[in-house]
Amino acid sequence: MKIKNIAFLLMFCAFASCLHAQDSIQKDSLQNEKIFLSSTLQGAKEEFLDGKKIYSAFKGEQIVYRVRLEIDKDFFESIHTLHISRFWLEFAKVYEVERIEGEPQENIIYEISYVFYPTQSGVFEIEPLSVDFSIDEALGDFDEELFGNAVDKPKTRKTTLLTPQFTLKVQDLENPALLYGESKLEAFLQEDSYREDSYNESFYNAGTISTERESTMPTTYKVVLESYGDVFELDFALEIPNVSIYDGALELHSVRKENGLYWHTLSKEFSILAKNSYEIPSFTAEYEEDNKRYLLATAPFAVHIKQDLAQTQTPKKARNLLPLAFLALIPFAGLLIFMRKRHFLTESILRAHSYKELLELLLAYKSKNPNTSTASIQRFIAFIEEKIYQNKSTHYDKKALLKEAKKILKTH
């Protein structure tokens, strides 16, 4: 009996050692053939410190950390869970800008790109990122295999891969600017796309761009900042006395360039309503590139309201023509009411921030003015209710609403 037990233990140890050897081989092939993990730094210069390769950059300079994971397509089917640790640094601001997932050929690709901007100077270690995944395997049950009746049972094996470690030396700037790297800044008045017959004649006058607008239609003003620098926490604020300003959403887009860095575009639109002429001030920004500082500035805009020009001109013999002018205005009373409705719709659309809020404004107006509510107001209310109840769109598009309002006012 003892001899049989000893033989059984010897067989068990031999089988276990075979399993261990097989597991080691699978781990090696896993790293070398089934999964390929890499990470790179772009934007920083390569240097050598005490015989060791390091990277160097300035404070505020854009550096791209990119991690790439390639997995064999057949092997990917056996992966149960996959987790890539998030990249973060104590000495820099980090933003994820791009994530790629695809199947170019026979491999599954996962690629994540981060941009970071150092905020401290010194020598820092960028610790490895970990990729943790578990694999579903099928191994025969040992007890049943001894009797020749092996049954495959799933087994989950966990594995961790690490990216390389990088050393980064960050240097101070003598005169730090708001942005580091090539930058551009522009501002312009957009054509009112919802109004085909809008008047938009501009001319330059001593650095100021002058233009004429009607008081009943809004002026759309857009500012665009493009840069390799850190624009992620910036915003545009516009203040003009005695006018109504409606801020649009701040938009940010990042595009990878041939050098591997990301070109950021930050933009914002403002809708401006005014009864009198006004001036849009200039926006400014500074950036540094190749140890030189540059100042960017947009041109100011002088917006002249047409009604102001008409009011400032007093025609000759105005007193004698006053009775005739009064009689001439009577046939156009309906037109003046029409213009009033259009102005109310425009102001309501710009004031609201959602379809629901716009509907509440229109219903309140209709309730307070039951006798003056025209078919155009009722038709526009029906249009908004259809958008809300049928849930056609959740994005509040002011330009599309203004365009639709114009169509309704022409036909009702």
Q: What is the pLDDT of residues 215-236, one digit of tens each?
A: 777 889 999 999 999 999 999 9
- Contact call for residues 341 and 381 (beta carbons, < 8 A): no
Residue 73 structure tokens: 């397509």
Q: Which domain holds residue 337?
A: 321-411
Residue 16 counted as domain residue: no
Q: Are residues 361 and 342 in the same domain?
A: yes
Burial profile 308-329: b = 16 or more Cβ within 10 angstroms, e = fewer: eeeeeeeeeeeeeeeeeeeeee
Q: Are residues 235 and 281 in the same domain?
A: yes
Per-residue confidence (pLDDT) for residue 169, from 0 to 100: 95
Residue 205 Cα distances to 296, 299, 301, angstroms: 19, 11, 10
Most confident of 36-40, 83-87, 166-170: 166-170
Domains identified in the chain, total number = 3
Q: Are residues 39 and 161 in the same domain?
A: yes
Q: Quote helix, strand, coil % in the chain, to nearest 5.
A: 30, 40, 30
Residue 7 counted as domain residue: no
Residue 48 counted as domain residue: yes
Which one of 277, 308, 339 terminates a domain? 308
The model's pTM is 0.62
User: Does pLDDT of 339 surpass 60?
Assistant: no
Provide the pairing of β-strand 35-42 with 63-72: antiparallel
Q: Are residues 199 and 280 in the same domain?
A: yes
Residue 42 counted as domain residue: yes
Per-residue confidence (pLDDT) for residue 27, from 0 to 100: 35
Q: Are residues 203 and 326 in the same domain?
A: no
Per-residue confidence (pLDDT) for residue 82, from 0 to 100: 85
Residue 339: helix, strand or coil by DSSP? helix
Write out pLDDT tens, residues 368-406.
776 655 677 778 887 877 776 665 555 677 777 877 877
pLDDT: is 286 or 329 the higher one? Answer: 286
pLDDT: is 306 or 238 the higher one? Answer: 238
Mean per-residue pLDDT, 301-330: 55
Residue 332 counted as domain residue: yes
Question: Domain of 235: which CATH number?
Answer: 2.60.40
User: Does pLDDT of 3 surpass 90?
Assistant: no
Per-residue confidence (pLDDT) for residue 412, from 0 to 100: 63
Angle, vertex CA 191, rays to CA 312 and CA 332, nearest 5 = 50
Q: Are residues 157 and 255 in the same domain?
A: no
Write out pLDDT tens, residues 33-80.
688 899 999 999 999 888 889 999 999 999 999 999 998 888 888 888
Q: Are residues 252 and 155 in the same domain?
A: no
Write out pLDDT tens, residues 171-182.
998 778 889 999
User: Does pLDDT of 204 surpass 60?
Assistant: no
Residue 60 counted as domain residue: yes
| DSSP state, residue 111 | E
Residue 336 counted as domain residue: yes
Per-residue confidence (pLDDT) for residue 397, from 0 to 100: 76
Write out pLDDT tens, residues 236-269.
999 999 999 999 999 999 999 999 999 999 999 9
83-92, 352-361, 367-376: the lowest-pLDDT one: 367-376
The rounded mean pLDDT for the chain is: 75
Q: Are residues 161 and 214 in the same domain?
A: no
Q: Are residues 276 and 206 in the same domain?
A: yes
Burial profile 293-307: b = 16 or more Cβ within 10 angstroms, e = fewer: eeebebeebbbebee
Residue 4 confidence class, pLDDT cut points 50, 70, 90? very low
